[in-house]
Amino acid sequence: MRSIAAIVLVLAAAGGAAFFWYRPAAAPAASGALDFTLTTLSQAVAAAAPGSELRDIPDTAAVGGGWRIETSRDGRALLESPDETLVTLDQNTELTVVAHDADARRSKFSLAGGRAWTRVKKLFDQDELYEIRSSNAVATVRGTSFSFGYAAGVTTLLVAEGIVGILALDPETGQPLTASSTLVHAGQKAIVDDRLPPSERIRVAALTTEDMESEWYRFNDPDGSPAPAPAPPPAPAPAPTPMPAPAPTPEPSPAPAPLPAPNPPPPPAPLAIDAVAPDTVTYNPSGANAVQIAGSGFSGATAVLVGVLAVKFEIKDDGAIWLFADSSISPGTYAVSVRRGSEEAKRDRALTILPQPDRSDESGANPNQDPPPGSAATN
């Protein structure tokens, strides 16, 4: 059975890092702006511009889109963006700045191996995005603090603050597995393991004392502390010497109390869209692209729109919906909307559909051709 991987909607597999727009063989886009500051916390740290060799960074350096950063077995580094997002790279880590748009405050990273602890300043604009991805998981977040690590086909996500959505991917195609996605809250962790079947690929559990007392966790969250162990129950007091009670004066029986009124049902969660993943797909004239929407209040959804066109969708739970963008939606950039009765949540410029690459001059099969689309669902 072939191995299968995962996405973190923050946003891992043995085949190396892949990129969010499902072109695993493509190189990260270079950016002329060096918007990030790389600081060496402990030696050795090296970095390379696109197409260049790695060079040692003894103290600080300016880096940008397409740059690759590596730390040695003793090295640690800090990557800081202009919007005050901080990424701490652990020892033996390789991270690539896949893309960065300083004006739109949209950042994407690829983790080939090791660990990165991210502190994302609260994002207020709905178009802002922070994404980090390993070869079997991608995380997309809006204001949070978490550790994201990958090694030997296993991605480990530890969430200290906020909420992170995680979605499993097939490492051979980069396509998401619709049966493997969930939201991970503060105080929880998720493990994405390629050795498990797709329906069990993501395991979520509470952070343990061992997790929070680890050197890596303490290094990045020194104020965090595990929940104290429950105190042992107090020793029972000695039983008092029984005394005969006086005979009670008979009283009239009280009238029966009225039955309590039934509790009203809880109100539905507010309808909101937090993230769309992937946010870029390639037009498929013979099938549909599966895209996940993360947010809240989706259980009663009645329609999902890409632009002004209603599309087929599948509700996973109250915080996740799959939409299926078929060939009726031409290449372009669209808003994504979810309707629940008269309510509507909308995220502008949330999904870009790229035209198919021109292969008219090629003969034979193209090894970099996009994989066939996943299964479709009906609403």
Cα(356)–Cα(27) distance, integer angstroms: 18
Q: Comparing 36-220 with 272-354, is the CATH topology the same?
A: no
Report the mean per-residue pLDDT for the chain: 78
Nearest to 159 by CA among 124, 199, 132: 132
pTM listed for this prediction? 0.59
Instruction: Please give the average per-residue pLDDT across 335-348, as a whole number.
Output: 94
Between 359 and 60, whose confidence is greater? 60
Cα(373)–Cα(76) distance, integer angstroms: 40
The β-bridge partners of 97 are 109
The one-letter code for the residue type at 207 is L
Under 8 Å between Cβ of 20 and 133? yes
pLDDT digits (tens, 9 = 90+) for 60-87: 999 998 999 999 999 999 999 877 788 9
pLDDT of residue 108: 84
pLDDT digits (tens, 9 = 90+) for 172-207: 777 777 667 788 899 999 999 888 888 888 899 999
Find the helix or strand (DSSP H, E) in which 210 lies: helix 209-212
Count of C-beta atoms within a 10 Å radius of residue 301? 20
List the chain domain ranges: 36-220, 272-354
Cα(354)–Cα(332) distance, integer angstroms: 7
Half-sphere exposure of 15 toward its Cβ, with a 13 Å CA cutoff?
18
pLDDT of residue 375: 43
pLDDT surpassing 50 at residue 214: yes
pLDDT of residue 32: 63
pLDDT of residue 197: 84
> Among 40-44, 65-69, 343-347, 358-362, which stretch is predicted with the lowest mean pLDDT?
358-362
- Is residue 137 packed enough to be buried (19+ CB in 10 Å), middle (13-18) or exposed (0-12)? buried
List the structure tokens of 185: 């809250």
pLDDT digits (tens, 9 = 90+) for 240-282: 666 666 666 666 666 666 777 677 777 888 999 988 888 888 8
pLDDT of residue 22: 28
**DSSP secondary structure letter of residue 243:** -
Nearest to 2 by CA among 165, 195, 176: 195
The one-letter code for the residue type at 78 is L
Nearest to 327 by CA among 359, 288, 282: 288
The one-letter code for the residue type at 28 is P
pLDDT surpassing 90 at residue 158: yes
Alpha helices in 221-330 (DSSP H): none
pLDDT of residue 278: 86
**DSSP secondary structure letter of residue 364:** S
pLDDT of residue 85: 81
pLDDT surpassing 80 at residue 363: no
Cα(159)–Cα(81) distance, integer angstroms: 21
pLDDT of residue 358: 74
**Architecture of the domain spanning 36-220:** Sandwich (2.60)
Residue 82: C-alpha distances to residues 37, 38, 48, 107, 185 (Å): 8, 12, 20, 11, 27
Find the helix or strand (DSSP H, E) in which 191 lies: strand 188-193
pLDDT digits (tens, 9 = 90+) for 295-327: 899 999 999 999 999 999 999 888 889 899 998
The CATH class that applies to domain 272-354 reads: mainly beta
Give me the count of residues in the chain: 379
pLDDT surpassing 50 at residue 44: yes
| DSSP-derived pairing of the beta strands 332-340 and 320-325 | unpaired
